[in-house]
């Protein structure tokens, strides 16, 4: 059952070298408060799984600037010039993934699948060192599951049972990651005592371990 904690308390659930998923897409639907607290600690050497590394001033982007990310498994780094700089200087390892493949790999982990077959990336650098499997005379890449030790998730609405719902384009990876991480920490803008409508819940509370009332009510 979900426990309500502070962002500072959330830092206790991280260890150096862990794999951390962080929801959000560029400047939208980003958790911020736990990251702010992590920046005050000596935690480091994380492998980040996220859509992108945002900007140097925003969310997971700040973890890159603070050299807390050893490796980034993301679809895009172009919006964060510090990630690009560290990548060119070989200070960070970057494993670029097609965005849809990244989403499917996270889902596969959460759904207990051994992988999925996708046509995306065939005949490109993405196919290197990957198994090609033929189904019905068509070739596909075998993409394997991606899971994390901890996930930091944004939600617009939550209830005391840990159920989540979202406004606008904040669903992005926030919907997928809670099933694919051992420990799930949610920063919610609005937390209600009353249960959310069971018809409209997007992430069931059973996937959420810890809930934080988000300090800043913008998305960043």
Partner 1 sequence: MELTKEQAQEIIARRVAREFKDGDVVTLGIGLPTKAISYVSDDVHIIVQSENGVLGVGAYQDDSNRDPHIINAGGFGVTINDGGCFVDSLTAFAMMRGGHIDLTVLGALQVDAEGNLANWCIPGKFTPGMGGAMDLVVGTKRLIIAMEHTAKGAPKILQKCTLPLTVAHKVNTIITEKAVFEIINNKLILREISPYSSLDEIRQTTDAEFIVDLTA
Report yes or no: 67 and 91 within 8 Å, Cβ to Cβ.
Answer: yes
167 sits near its own copies (criterion: CB under 8 A):
yes
Q: Find the binder of partner 1 among 60, 62, 68, 107 (CB under 8 A).
A: 107
> Could you tell me the two tokens for 17?
């070298």
Q: Dihedral (C-alpha) 29, 79, 83, 99: value to the nearest 10 degrees? A: 60
> Does the protein bind its own copies through residue 137 (CB under 8 A)?
no
- First vs last Cα of the chain: how many Å apart? 27
Among 78, 89, 112, 218, binds its own copies (CB under 8 A): 112
Task: Name the strand (E) or helix (H) holding 109.
Answer: helix 99-110
Q: Which two tokens stand for residue 8?
A: 């500072």
Binding site for partner 1 (CB under 8 A): 1, 25-29, 51-52, 74-79, 84, 87, 94, 96, 98-101, 103-104, 107, 109-113, 118-126, 156, 159-161, 163, 166-176, 179, 195-196, 198-199, 201-202, 204-207, 218-220
Binding site for its own copies (CB under 8 A): 104, 108, 111-119, 131, 133, 135-136, 138, 140, 142, 144, 165-168, 199-200
């Amino acid at each position: 059952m979900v426990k309500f904690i502070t962002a500072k308390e959330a830092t206790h659930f991280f260890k150096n070298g862990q794999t951390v998923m962080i929801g959000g897409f560029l400047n939208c639907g980003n958790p911020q408060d736990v990251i702010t607290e992590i920046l005050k600690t000596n935690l480091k050497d994380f492998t980040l799984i996220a859509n992108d590394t945002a900007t140097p001033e925003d969310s997971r982007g700040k973890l890159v600037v603070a050299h807390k990310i050893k490796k980034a498994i993301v679809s895009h780094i172009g919006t964060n010039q510090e990630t690009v700089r560290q990548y060119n200087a070989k200070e960070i390892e970057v494993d670029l993934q097609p965005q849809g493949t990244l989403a499917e790999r996270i889902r596969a982990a959460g759904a207990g699948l051994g992988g999925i077959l996708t046509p995306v990336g065939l005949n490109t650098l993405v196919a290197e060192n990957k198994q090609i499997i033929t189904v019905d005379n068509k070739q596909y890449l075998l993409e394997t599951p991606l899971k994390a030790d901890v996930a930091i998730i944004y939600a617009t609405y939550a209830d005391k049972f840990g159920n989540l719902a979202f406004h606008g384009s904040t669903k992005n990876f926030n919907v997928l990651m809670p099933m694919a991480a051992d420990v799930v920490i949610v920063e919610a803008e609005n937390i209600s005592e009353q249960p959310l409508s069971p018809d409209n819940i997007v992430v069931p509370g059973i996937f959420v371990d810890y809930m934080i009332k988000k300090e800043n009510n913008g998305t960043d």
